[in-house]
Amino acid sequence: MSLAVGDAAPDFSMPASGGRTASLATLKGKPFVLYFYPKADTPGCTKEACAFQEALPQLGKLGVEVIGVSKDKMPPIEKFAAKYGLTFPLASDPDTKVAEAYGVWVEKSMYGRKYMGMERATFLVNKDGVIAEIWPKVKIEGHAAEVAKAIAAL
């Protein structure tokens, strides 16, 4: 991962669920969580998204927005958001430009086969657009709570 705490968050603008646009420009002056997940509506990604959804009231009180990012196109993302009542924006990065900028489009390996894929990672960006915390290779259990704790410390 090429980004480090203290780096400026790379710019982005992506279509997001609910007809929204997720962009660095619209988040100026607000802290936010940008989390990358491999694929909409898969068991791990569903668990992670639902945990962030549950943490939303607490994060909202802290003035923090949450944005999920995957390579999926908008139709499966919209379906995923509707199926689980996810109210925060889920953004589509089909050409992986944003994932590459954040260093999470990586070589993976399964059953000896190498392929490119999305690393499950979370970035906490402060109100100045600077990366305050990075969680690479996220373990889903307890992750949203861990992120909320870091936000409270901002």
Which residues, including other chains, have CB under 8 Å from residue 59's CB and lie 6 or more apart?
33, 52, 65, 66, 147, 148, 151
CA distance 31 to 138: 20
Residue 50 bears catalytic tag: no
CA distance 107 to 64: 31
User: 60 is written with which tokens?
Assistant: 């909202």
Catalytic residue among 14, 16, 22, 45: 45
Rounded-to-integer distance, Cα 67 and Cα 89, Å: 5
Question: What gap in Å lies between CA 51 and CA 49, rounded to an integer?
Answer: 5
CA distance 49 to 26: 22
Give me the active site residues, please.
45
